[in-house]
Amino acid sequence: MASLNKRYVTAAAILQAACLAACGDEALPVAENTATTVEKTVAAARPVGEEKLVLAFGDSLYAGYQLGRGQSLPDAVQNRLRADGINATLVNAGVSGDTSAAGRQRLAFALDNLPRKPDLVLLGLGGNDVLRQIPAAETRANLVAMLDELRRREVPVVLTGMVAPPNLGPEYVAAFNAIYTDLAREYGAALYPFILDGVIGDPALMLPDRIHPNAKGVERVADRVTPLVAQRLAG
């Protein structure tokens, strides 16, 4: 665990530098002409027979910011699942710029507009909360509300986490970074602790903004996230 924590601290420092260089105090940018809203993607999800339906619910790291069609993280995970013989459809409900509060407001709508109850939700929000320096307690409360809603609907979850950069101070960092581990344990969710682990800081895997992964970076993340999704779908 010590080496793991050290790696996350290093990654958080890289994220801090990227934020300062690329966006200052601004949130993760909203992608133009994004085709990742529920309204535009739900029509593609038409489960047949034993097909598994997964809702990928997050921000620009799910939406596929500045990537081509078919290059988002949900696309990459879906491709791997199908290659492994798992008949799964992922509905990409990633919205660039979303905070946890915005996700909380639209989660029920996203779920209600699926063709049926999903077999799994891939949940990844919080990055924009960090960039906006939203109090960690608010991020936690919003994620709790979403996890409560998913528990009420009896939908299992894979949670992808974020880490706070050290310039926000040890108190904030400790409070924020504990959110995902705590909630995964409390709600029985599978957890990938830091979505950009092994990607951020590598120019070959990141866009020039140094915040978002490029297509190769997305593939690297998908390599690591897909086994958790597959395991969760298997029950």
Inter-residue contact 27 to 60 (CB < 8 Å): no
Q: What is the DSSP string of 155-183?
A: --EEEE-----GGG-HHHHHHHHHHHHHH
Distance CA 99, CA 96 (A): 9
3-state helix, strand, coil in the chain (%, to 5): 50, 10, 40
Which among 82, 158, 175 has a CA at the least distance from the CA of 119? 158
Catalytic residue list: 60, 209, 212
Which residue type is seen at 126?
G
C-alpha to C-alpha distances, 53 to 100, 119, 173, 221, 225, nearest whole angstrom = 23, 5, 35, 20, 16
